[in-house]
Structure 1
């Protein structure tokens, strides 16, 4: 039987935790260095490439915050562990705390100094990058460009209003020539005449070659009516198309009369802006926008540099703490290992202790201590293995006892029950586990049995002290297992007792009632065969001889002698007939044929047999006949049985029940069938209202020639038992008890159903 090695003790766990901690520290240092290199690279790229910085500012800042938070959490976790070890008073905790504080101060003080200087430098340097004079020049240039465009727009609007007066009297059809002249006067690239619905009436210039020229919007036309002119500057939004800059002016055309039906017209003129002016205006506008964006982002740039410096400070502190832990563990680990091992040995823990592989004196000391405890661990392992093997054997033995059909009880020297198996409860029909610790003679229903067993053990122990030693005793007991108002049930037990090494007593017993009954039935069958062979043959000659004597001597004797002769011959013949019937019954019992099992309806068989008997409520029943009450369960399925033999069973049971009611005040017989869905069996029950069976009859009622009647051979129940065995049916016989008084007898048979 293989058993696991002894569990690893705290020292081994300490070594494993130290190794895990060292690996965690190495990985943490590598990660911190990698993160620092990446952040420095990103920061360098951000300061040398403004576009890269502007695109990734949010990501860089968030990464700084996350890394700083992680490092701060790790530092706090390390200090919490150190404080916890110190509070619990672990060996070496003070040394680790001192080393950690020393290395932390060595790393923190220079880091704080560098951080302070760098913070001031970064803050002032970034502010110096943005000059107030440059910002003022850009603003002045932007205002100058706006003023120039406003002047050109006002001049074009004024000239267009003056030119619109020339179209006041001109009809729409002849407006084209006037528009061409007006375009030349204004120096415009395009002139268009619109109606009030923004429909083009006439045009001159580039718009003549356009299928869909840009029309003014209704909002623009409403603004023209209200302000008398509207100017638009276009083409300054695209820095790559400086030649597309132009100014549009829209003015109303004067009405020739005050008629209400006259339609409003609008004159639109367009001139191009010099490309140099457009390029300069766009350049000034873009430079100003870029300068303002960078001025607004200088606070974020400052936070970026300061955050990076803060992260560098955290890295320095983290490295100092890790270095302190590594050096402290290297110094304190052997001492902690030895201290933990000594404490475990002092507490009785002899499990193998781990050892360090170092070449110094402390490592050699841990190896010697581990070798010393290994021998003790091996010894304990061997003891635990033996105990487990004993436990396994005990469990194996208990499993065997639990599955034995025979009863097993372990008693102490005074007869108290120490333990029992389920077979004992099954045989004795008493829950022995409820009476553990009590004497067997004190268990209800087992008083006589317990007393006899105790006496037999006492006699056996005395015999062992005076005679040759024997290892057990054996005896047969007749036991009445009546309990809790149930009917008497006599069983035959064969018990065997033996002493145990622990001064206990082992009692093993088994129910041999069925074996005894079968042996008796076999013996009676042999007797029946011999009776049929040895007695029946002489009966016929005896009867014939007696009749011949009467026939020869009747005429030769006087009247008194002839009467005496006739009476004697009649007695001989009558007794011979009686002996023939007895022999025939024994012959039938011995030669009962094997059952031919087929599906049979038990309810139909009962009804067929009951035609020969008077039922309850039958008007044709005579006063001397016993009524039979029938209670048939219609749910009963078919059973496997021999119809002819089952009829004989029903007839024998009814006949016995009616005979048992003779002399009772209430003469009644009940026949009942029941179907049990749970057990899937059909029961046939016959009850009478007689005086029941005496106790000495119950245990042998199914044996031949055992009867309570003055007449008969007692073969009725024996035949029923034999037929029940042929059908595989379970048969039970008991007295019906109510209020402590026997109210009759009951015989029940349980049959299996046909599949």
Structure 2
């Protein structure tokens, strides 16, 4: 701040000093206007000095004008006000100067014309003639006196000539009387000063006139001031050897008459000189006035630019500061040294920015706290097993935790600020979830809780969904939707219920089966030989009873196996080898090959109960065979592959597939489309896979059925993904 201020002070001082020097030069040159010779010699230097000042001022003004144009192009704040202020200041400064200039020119012209008034010139001529006449009259008188003296001298003796010459000088009030012989030799002289001056001798001009027989009479100025009259005549005599003598007399002009004559003569000479320079004076004065006016105008224009700049600068700083505050730069401070209204305004602005800065700091602190709380909340939400989605009023997704993406099977992070309605159009499974949501919101029911079933190709998903409104005291801001995947819970409850049913059935049914079988066998042994006439009927009846009891025992054993929790003995083995061993049992060489294997040779080993997985493979192959009984070109395929670090085992056939009515509950106990069987085969398969922390999916294909089993490779506590062509649900 100190450097720009010092620069401004130095810059202003230089300009002020330049103006003062220019004014001093003008004041110094002003006396020369009274002397035409001096004025003419100095005029060109005056003009050169002023032209230099004009060029300097023009440079400053053009630079200021260029900066003004740049500010207009850059749309600098306050530039319009600055332009209007410059125009106003220039107008106020230039207009009076032009008026003064016009009147000054008129005054100069009329003043110069008044100097050369005809009456003044006539008076000077008359005064000059009067003085000349007075002097001529005195000269004639002295000529008469010098002639009278000459006549007296011509009759005098040479012995008394010198003494009488002094008397005659005193009597005739002459300052000097000299008698010369021809050639010039002083014969006698009488002088007030008694000193011989070389000017005493007559000049050639005087001698020439005397030789013509004419007396010489003239008036000459004295070195000490004043005038004297010189009268020279020839003296006729017979005293000296020379043919003639010359008498020269000097007579002083009266002091008053001499002063008046000098004044009139000087005045007339000056008037004549000035009159001769009349037009030149007009031109010179006009040029000087024009130059002075031009410099003054340029100074006024530059002062207008500088004043406008100084006046607008605080306003421009205020505008720039306001923009900075609008951009969030609340620490903006404006410097000012003025104590005027604008200075008070700047101080108020600084006070405002200080308060805004404090408020911003407090807001940032609160915002940081909010962000910390939000981070904690996001951390909590990320750890929740429940899905949480917050929606705007227009159903745009504001936030979603990871569990929400996992449960719905889609990455919701890529849909933040996107419409959940648009998302449902691209994901049919999500549309079922959104349709329930929008149905409640359309009824302005913002607080609700409901179980939602999502049905897809891979089965049903059961969600428990709760919604509540996000609102302040005045307006609704959005909604928060919380949901849990209760499919596993419901399945566990269902499995527990069916297990309980199976245990009760096994207990209630198994107890009477043994007495029934024993009774039938006893009847067979005792009465088969006794009643030979009815032996065939008795044989068939008892055999049927025993056979059905065995079937019921097998069914009860299935119930018991389903109800009890098996002991798992995990070992590491190659799943491909197990599949190949089981497949060999179904390979009949005298019949076309039905079972086809597509095994991944790079499949890693698996940790599982080999016996249980063998039972799974047997059950699924038998189910496919039973489904293909009415099909001519039978085809069963088993495929293995490694997908997402999980081992996938895929069973497919070209049978009729599952009935649509049971396609979503094929793994439930006692669900079957076959005329025989208990409906526990797939239920047991699913239970075994669940015990191995795996997943199983069954779906109808365009031709036949496909069942996908996913099992972990290494750790049994990893979360498993659904298999091939699934939506990617996690359980």
TM-score normalised over the length of structure 1: 0.47
Higher RCO, 1 or 2 (CA under 8 Å, sep at least 6)? 1
What is the TM-score with the length of structure 2 in the denominator?
A: 0.49
